[in-house]
Amino acid sequence: MIDAAGLRVMKAIADEGSFTSAANALGFTQPAISQMVRRLEQRTGTVLVERYGRQVRLTEAGQVLARHAVGVLAALDAAEEEITAIAGLRAGRVRLQAFPSSSATLVPKALAILRSRHPDITMTFTEAEPPQSLAALRAGDCDVAVIFATKDVDAGELVEDLSLLVTRHLLDDELRLATPKDHPLAQTGTASLSDFASEDWIAGCPRCRAHLVGLADKAGFRPTVSFEIEDYVAQLGLVTAGLGVALVPDIILNAAKHDDVATLSLSPVSQRQILAVTTPDLLRVPAVAAALDALCAAAGADPSTSPAELAASPA
């Protein structure tokens, strides 16, 4: 019934004191104001403007509208300002969920980059395994999910359903074998998984353990898992102590130097992709795009890389 334009007109009349100057103030012509007032009057069924001679002044009802106009227009301006702030990266919030081992280096670095680039964007971060973070993304509880997906193996169920989502390749993470430095095969550089079939194994989370078992199964043995510890630093501690060997992702090894362990490339190589995932619509939200760029920068990946479609090519 009453719209913002009408309020704007009433306020302009109240401020300017005449239709003509109100029209000038609003960038309209005088007849526009004239019939705008008439429309408002027949909509509300009240007299809003008192025409006396060639001067006009607001009636009580008209003053009511003009008075309310101040608050309403201010609120509209505030809303508009907030929107443009979000559009201009001067405000906004990005909810990030990432799998635990990425929290070590990738996520903190990305957060730092984002903050330095856009200090007014707030980023919230939650650790979550890929299935959980993707569920949150689908449920709308999360804006960006950082997940990993194995390229090669279909033994483990690490490839999630990424339909309806867009992914951005961050980096390829190689799974390396960590052994004590004095292990016989420590200096060989590359080794086959089966070479360590009789070793004691240190596994991490259930998913990681399942992956290990899957890889070993392809290599033809069943690993003896003597330790289950999720924390990779603790795992490397066990390796250092000579209590076993472990599969450790490259990003963990790169995070800090571990002089007391040797790492071997596996043959066949076991790589997993680390991906940032979001939805097509959120990709067009400036803050989300900035967060993805920050993640790419943190990973050293090319930010302009087109999204890697993984769903259709499990290789």
Partner DNA sequence: GGTAATGCATAAGTGTCGGTTATGATGAGG
Partner DNA sequence: CCTCATCATAACCGACACTTATGCATTACC
List of residues contacting DNA (CB under 7 A): 3, 5, 18-20, 23, 27-32, 34-39, 49, 51-56, 163-164
- Binding of residue 15 to its own copies (CB under 8 A): no
The least distance separating DNA from the CB of residue 159, rounded to whole angstroms, comes to: 17
Mark the segment that binds its own copies (CB under 8 A) among 44-52, 111-119, 195-203, 210-218.
44-52
- Binding of residue 164 to its own copies (CB under 8 A): yes
With CB under 5 to 8 Å by kind, the binding choice for 287 among its own copies, DNA, none is its own copies
User: Token pair of 74, please?
Assistant: 């201010």
| Degrees, nearest 5: CA angle 302-303-308 | 80
| Residue/partner pairs of 44-50 with CB below 8 Å, 24 or more apart | 44/1, 44/2, 48/10, 49/13
Looking at the DSSP assignment, which residues form a beta bridge with residue 71?
Answer: none
Distances (CA, A) of 249 to 36, 102, 143, 244: 69, 10, 25, 16
Nearer to its own copies, 1 or 315 (CB): 1
Nearer to its own copies, 82 or 157 (CB): 82
Which residues, numbered 262-291, are part of the site for its own copies (CB under 8 A)?
A: 279, 281-282, 284-287
Distances (CA, A) of 223 to 87, 241, 264, 300: 53, 19, 17, 35
In terms of Cβ atoms closer than 10 Å to its own Cβ (0-12, 13-18, 19+), residue 220 is exposed
Mark the segment that binds its own copies (CB under 8 A) among 80-88, 99-107, 181-189, 233-241.
80-88
- CA torsion sign for 210, 211, 217, 220 is negative
The least distance separating DNA from the CB of residue 163, rounded to whole angstroms, comes to: 6
Residue that is written with structure tokens 């003896």 in the block: 224
Residue that is written with structure tokens 């003053």 in the block: 63
Q: With contact defined as beta carbons under 8 Å apart, do 177 and 266 qualify?
A: yes
With CB under 5 to 8 Å by kind, the binding choice for 233 among its own copies, DNA, none is none
Nearer to its own copies, 136 or 255 (CB): 136
Cis (ω within 30 of 0) for the bond into 131?
no
- Binding of residue 120 to its own copies (CB under 8 A): no
DSSP 8-state assignment for residue 17 = S
The least distance separating its own copies from the CB of residue 165, rounded to whole angstroms, comes to: 9
The least distance separating its own copies from the CB of residue 13, rounded to whole angstroms, comes to: 13
Contact residue for its own copies among 25, 32, 72, 197 (CB under 8 A): 72
With CB under 5 to 8 Å by kind, the binding choice for 54 among its own copies, DNA, none is DNA
By the criterion CB under 8 A, which residues form the site for its own copies? 1-5, 7, 44-47, 49-53, 57, 59-61, 64-65, 68, 71-72, 75-76, 78-80, 82-84, 86-87, 92-93, 138, 140, 164, 279, 281-282, 284-287
